Amino acid sequence: MAVASKILKTIDTSCYEYMHPWVASCSDASAGLFIHSLQASFRIYVTTYMLTLLMKGRKPTKKELSQTFLSILQSTAFLTCHAFGFSSAVCILRRMLSNFNVLTVAFVPCFLTCLVAILIERPSRRGLLTLYVTNVASETFYNMMVSRGVIKPIPYGDLFIFGSAITLLLYFYRGQHNKADSIYSLLRFVVGPCEENDYSKPSVSSQPNLVNEYPNQNTIKKFIHDIHASYHTIDDQLKKIWINESCPHAHGCLHYITASGTRLFLIGYTLQLCLKSLLQVKRVIRKPTFVLKLMVTPDTFSLGAFLGGFSTIYRLVSCVSRRVLTKDSKYICIPAGLLASLTFCLYRNNTIALYVMLKSLQLIYNKGSNGRILPNLPQANVFIYCFSTAILFHAAILEPHNLRPSYWKFLQTVSGGCIGLIDRHCLDAFGLRSSESLEKVLLKHKPVPLQLIKF
């Protein structure tokens, strides 16, 4: 009854007093938001698509540059439509209904706007966008339920979600699956192609020993050559230790376990170090020795420890299980995945936990719909995207303290700071303390300076 009364409750506030208190005209407000969002969206997608081109590691062709430019324009139009369309939809609904209720202040106008915006974007990107906003919306909805006292936080709940979801994904990885799916490419990178379904064990080929062909080379070159030769000697010895015919990998289990763990640890450590250096680039420029401090900070090791530890434990448990059972089995991934998931404690991240959970649910639905167990819903990703984004906009307007901080900053950037200027005092009638929630958020995050555009 309390929920129904909040939904039915209406307020007679005008869209000027609520939506755009900085300018009286609805059209001027929408036009200003259009220009702000157009500039921010263009900057975001130029950076995103240019980085994608650079990561290919080769000179782009004229056709690729042309396609990239068109993609930038299309994605910019998609994102701009959200800010411009949301403001316009709020004002139109206010004129049609002559009042606001808890749904029409944000949820309904955002849902309608998203129906138009998502159809502007390329179909190939709709799935990724849906997965992202559903990830953020799931966390936001959980925070909303906790703040209302409906559910209580579960200690290490994120670890349980990650462990169960990643184990299910690994089970699919060991069975029949769509090898082109991005999640399986990620699993192939972490646990290796040897653990994948239908992997053929390669034959072992002998490698020639490294011989010092240049006895008169200088000291530095000789030192480097000696290190390289020592590494290959140790590597060759590891390949001969603990060989098991039941395992799908070519060499010994000890080499199989340690090589992957070491490689992933170094990759994770390097990525974390580079990210921290970029985030504090001004401090690094002023004081270059600050990089040395970043290199030994415990937090810098967290991602590498998680990736390397996960791969090491998964492969270790898999190899031990195959040795005990004297055969390989896809069910080995269940204890291996559950034990390896404990390394998530080293790098606890809600985004990762929710991503693997949503991805596992998506694969379950795909398998169910392909087997005609579950109904095949056409354009389901469009509906889920609109519904999830509507939840995020509802939270951003009525209870911004429950929104993920990074998403709040994103909305501030795209709207040119307007999202923080919307007057929430009139919305306090719904009992969600929206104005108080906004003040808390603005104290934590520096507001984006707004440059009002006059017409």
Looking at residues 379-408, what average pLDDT do you find?
A: 93
Looking at residues 24-29, what average pLDDT do you find?
A: 88
Average pLDDT over the chain reads 85
pLDDT at 448: 54
One domain for residues 184 and 313:
yes
Looking at residues 15-25, what average pLDDT do you find?
A: 88
pLDDT at 193: 87
The 3-class SS string of the chain reads CHHHHHHHCEECCCHHHHCCCCCCCHHHHHHHHHHHHHHHHHHHHHHHHHHHHHHCCCCCCHHHHHHHHHHHHHHHHHHHHHHHHHHHHHHHHHHHHCCEECCCCCHHHHHHHHHHHHHHCCHHHHHHHHHHHHHHHHHHHHHHHHHCCCCCCCCCHHHHHHHHHHHHHHHHHHCCCCCCCHHHHHHHHHCCHHHCCCCCCCCCCCCCCCCCCCCCCCHHHHHHHHHHHHHHHHHHHHHCCCCCCCCCCCCCHHHHHHHHHHHHHHHHHHHHHHHHHHHCHHHHHHCCCHHHHHHHCHHHHHHHHHHHHHHHHHHHHHHHHHHHHCCCCHHHHHHHHHHHHHHHHHHCCHHHHHHHHHHHHHHHHHHHHHCCCCCCCCCHHHHHHHHHHHHHHHHHHHCHHHCCHHHHHHHHHHCCCHHHCCCCHHHHHHCCCHHHHHHHHHHHCCCCCCCCCCC
Quote the CA–CA distance of 348 and 3 in Å, as a whole number: 34
280's CB contacts (< 8 A; 6+ apart) are 290, 294
Q: How many CB atoms lie within 10 A of CB 142?
A: 17
pLDDT of 280-314, one tens digit each? 888 888 888 888 888 888 889 999 999 999 999 99
Query: Do the domain assignments include residue 209?
Result: no
pLDDT at 453: 45
Q: Cβ(305)–Cβ(346) under 8 Å? A: yes
pLDDT at 328: 85
Query: Do the domain assignments include residue 388?
Result: no
One domain for residues 359 and 404:
no
Query: Do the domain assignments include residue 418?
Result: yes
One domain for residues 110 and 67:
yes
Query: Do the domain assignments include residue 86?
Result: yes
Domain stops at, among 331, 350, 370: 370
One domain for residues 363 and 410:
no
Query: Do the domain assignments include residue 152?
Result: no
Quote the CA–CA distance of 266 and 263 in Å, as a whole number: 5
317 is in which domain, residue-wise?
Answer: 161-198+219-370
Is residue 61 predicted with pLDDT exceeding 60?
Answer: yes
Looking at residues 398-424, what average pLDDT do you find?
A: 91
One domain for residues 346 and 439:
no
Looking at residues 211-237, what average pLDDT do you find?
A: 60
pTM of the model: 0.81
pLDDT at 231: 56
Query: Do the domain assignments include residue 212?
Result: no
Number of domains present in the structure of the chain = 2
One domain for residues 349 and 226:
yes
One domain for residues 345 and 420:
no
pLDDT at 226: 61
Quote the CA–CA distance of 288 and 137 in Å, as a whole number: 40
Looking at residues 339-345, what average pLDDT do you find?
A: 95
One domain for residues 92 and 39:
yes
Looking at residues 234-238, what average pLDDT do you find?
A: 63
One domain for residues 179 and 317:
yes
Domain stops at, among 370, 390, 418: 370
One domain for residues 418 and 359:
no
Query: Do the domain assignments include residue 434?
Result: yes
Looking at residues 203-213, what average pLDDT do you find?
A: 52
Is residue 455 predicted with pLDDT exceeding 50?
Answer: no
Q: Cβ(332)–Cβ(246) under 8 Å? A: no
Domain stops at, among 370, 389, 409: 370
One domain for residues 55 and 167:
no
Query: Do the domain assignments include residue 127?
Result: no
Quote the CA–CA distance of 41 and 92 in Å, as a whole number: 24
One domain for residues 41 and 183:
no
